[in-house]
Amino acid sequence: MLSLTGIKLVVDHNFGVVSRFHRLCGRKLYQHVNLGFREPKPQKAAFDAAKSYNREDHERALGNLSEHQRRWIEAGGESSWARHSYDPSASCPQMKNIFNKDFNLWITELKCFPLCDLVMGFEAKLNQLFLRRQRNGRLLTDKHLVPRASTKLRDQIHNNIGYAALLDVYKPLTYIMMNEDHNPTRSVDLAQRKCDYDEWHISGVPCVHAVAVLATKRPPRYERYVDEYYTIGRYKVSYDGIISRMASINEWRQVTGANPPPLKEIWHDS
């Protein structure tokens, strides 16, 4: 009933043809399972495995779980819950289930409506959202990055520049980061926008190792190395389309023989 032409248009503009992928909440994966996950140590190991940006850290965390626990959390497929396996085209490292919660809050006022009214209310909300973000895009004329990405980059620099200053930066064929605290050496390639720690690859924002390398350049130009996904231009393209309005309810095709869904029997404790 709801025309998806507008949504499909803006998604295609922003992402092109991208395969769909499904994510599981990193915490919900083990929180309500009685396999010994209620103890702090296995909980930490499971969450560390889920939030690791590279396979080495992921495997190291899994090594702290029992075989039974490991088989359980691996059953869902790594790409749905392990951050290091996320599709990088989304530039989203979020691994907790906040999207479902936010969406439900967004449509809370519509849930008690009949289906037709819910659909029309949802369409109105989408149109308001697109109009608001189109207006926001027009106001962001003197910026290169969307505000959220600018804040994330600023926090990354502010929180890590002191740590980055302790790293030794070398330049043979590619930039190499060496930390003196027995942490592994990291290779950073600015041309490819990659670090073998993989946080930069997944999140789209330079990691602490990239920040350390960029800090040696004058000027650093950190913003240049944020993924295009976060640019104002891409933001405007995302919301440049329209959502085609559906016809008035009076113009809908009349269907005969449609019955409400069958009622389920409710059991009461005696």
Q: What is the pLDDT of residue 173?
A: 43
Q: Which tokens is 51 given?
A: 């939030």
Residue 221 has pLDDT above 50, yes or no: yes
Span 175-218, pLDDT tens digits: 555 554 556 678 888 888 888 889 998 899 998 888 888 888 88
Work out the average pLDDT over 91-120.
Answer: 81
CA 139 to chain centre: 25
Q: What is the pLDDT of residue 132?
A: 92
Span 127-169, pLDDT tens digits: 899 999 999 988 887 778 999 899 989 988 888 777 766 666 6
Dihedral angle of Cα 44, 45, 51, 56, to the nearest 10 degrees: 150
Q: Is the whole-model pTM more than 0.75? A: no
Span 63-86, pLDDT tens digits: 998 888 888 878 767 777 888 888
Q: Which tokens is 95 given?
A: 């691994």
In this structure, what DSSP letter does residue 26 have? T
Residue 226 has pLDDT above 90, yes or no: yes
